[in-house]
Amino acid sequence: MFVDPIIMQFPENLDPERFVIATYYCAAKPTTNMVKFAAALAIEQTCGTWLKVPGETEEVRERAIGRVVGVYEAPAYQVAIPADVTERHFIIRIAYPWQNFGAQLSMMLSTVIGNISSSGKVKLVDLQFPKSFLAEFKGPKFGVQGIRDLLGVQDRPLLNNMIKPCIGLTADKTAELAYEAAVGGVDVIKDDELVCDPPFCRLEDRVKAVMEALKRADEVKGEKTLYAFNITAPAMQMRDNAYRALDAGANALMINFAACGLDTTRLITEDPNINVPILAHSDYTGAQYESEWSGVSASLIGAKLPRLAGLDMIIGLTPYGKFPMLMDTFVNMGIQMLAPLGHIKPVFPMPGGGTTQGHIEDVIHKFGKDVMIAAGGAIHGHPMGPAAGARAFRQGIDAVCAGISLEEAGKQYEELGVALKLWGIYSEAKHGIFDLKG
């Protein structure tokens, strides 16, 4: 039978608590029957045979097989395909019984974008989770409000700094730079993703030196500073790194989550003995999202899934600097970090990758106060030094929050004025009816 009554379903006919629904963007040659193609994807990622085998009973199929709940073409050819069309594009939605993979992210990804990642032009763009699935995840321990409470800052965007240069520094030199950034007004400082426990800068030595420096800086500025120490390693070693860092006095941690894996990350975020905020570094996510025709979407691998894995703040690359990123993708990632998601707490978006003081106005316009502006070179490369670079950010943040433009603030504050003169003020090109008032 061509129309399979189990595989081809209306979403309204399914028990919504049984299924995770995956949405794909697909393309194929004009002669491809995309209904058959969608059914083939659903079968491949569940019962997995292109022909009937004895063990595939009706009971097995009802329990485990994927259901196609939508096939939509864009543009929507209905009666004929123009002669010049060489490829047709489709949105396909498939519902997977989540008991197939359970409350884990590794087997879920193996199911929703496993073998079919080798099926040509198939990209996973979103996942819709039922309440029963979300209930199995603890999510972030702190999130936006928890970090604000730790820092005692409720009414403005936060400022993050990445230590530069990326690698090669000793523990003492790292502490020296951390002091300068902190005393200038940075709220959260982080290791570079390339540093964890090299022989010239051992993790425990770095934690002790940095935390002593931050204690002095906090006394000077009258504020608290968090430092996220990178603990990325193989699973059990990463847990050991976390415990070693905490024993040495660390007040925050960092994980390269895409490189080590989402479920490995959960070993740390869900550990009851680890009760500090954990920062998500986004390195390696580009390998999964940059192709328009394969992999997964940036908002999924770079925002929704790490949030589900329990990370409290997530670096997101921006359209401002050295990495290719579309503005709407950037904004959507921030929304995925902040929008309500059941009991899973909102987390801080951290726009970074070429961010300067001249981007403050645009970032706040897009995200409001619940954003953590991340900067490396614009702090450590400020002509007046790292402390001045940090002060320039705080001057700009306070001014914009008070309704003063960056241009005007740059005339009032020397450090900010120097930065704006050097790197300019960003202004997004406005064109079209959707550029509404903020």
Q: Give 382-398 pLDDT, tens digit per residue.
A: 999 999 999 999 999 99
pLDDT of residue 2: 55
Query: Hey, do 11-134 and 143-423 end up sharing a CATH topology, with the first three levels equal?
Result: no
Instruction: Provide the pLDDT for residue 165.
Output: 81
Q: Which residue has the higher pLDDT, 290 or 56?
A: 290
- Residue 118: per-residue pLDDT: 87
Over the chain, what is the mean pLDDT? 92
Contact between 176 and 151 (Cβ < 8 Å): no
The residue ranking higher by pLDDT, 195 or 159, is 159
Q: Where are the domains of the chain?
A: 11-134, 143-423
CATH 3.30.56.10 fits 11-134, yes or no: no
For 184-243, write each residue's pLDDT tens digit. 999 999 998 999 989 999 999 999 999 999 999 999 999 999 999 999 999 999 999 999
Q: Is the pLDDT of residue 12 over 90?
A: yes
CATH top-level class of 143-423: alpha beta
Banded pLDDT at 119 (limits 50, 70, 90): confident
Q: Dig out the tokens for 186 from the structure.
A: 């940075």
Per-residue pLDDT at 358 exceeds 70: yes
Distances from the Cα of 306 to the Cα of 137, 235, 255, 353, angstroms = 12, 16, 10, 19
Q: How buried is 92 (Cβ within 10 angstroms: 0-12 exposed, 13-18 middle, 19+ buried)?
A: buried
User: Do the beta carbons of residue 97 and residue 19 sit within 8 Å?
Assistant: yes
Question: What is the reported pLDDT for 420?
Answer: 96
How far apart CA 74 and CA 94 sit, in angstroms, is: 18
**Averaged pLDDT for residues 401-407:** 96
At residue 109, does pLDDT exceed 50?
Answer: yes
Residues with a known catalytic role: 164, 281
Helices (H), 74-202: 105-112, 131-134, 143-151, 171-183
Average pLDDT (324-341) is 92
Distances (CA, A) of 137 to 93, 155, 342: 24, 29, 11
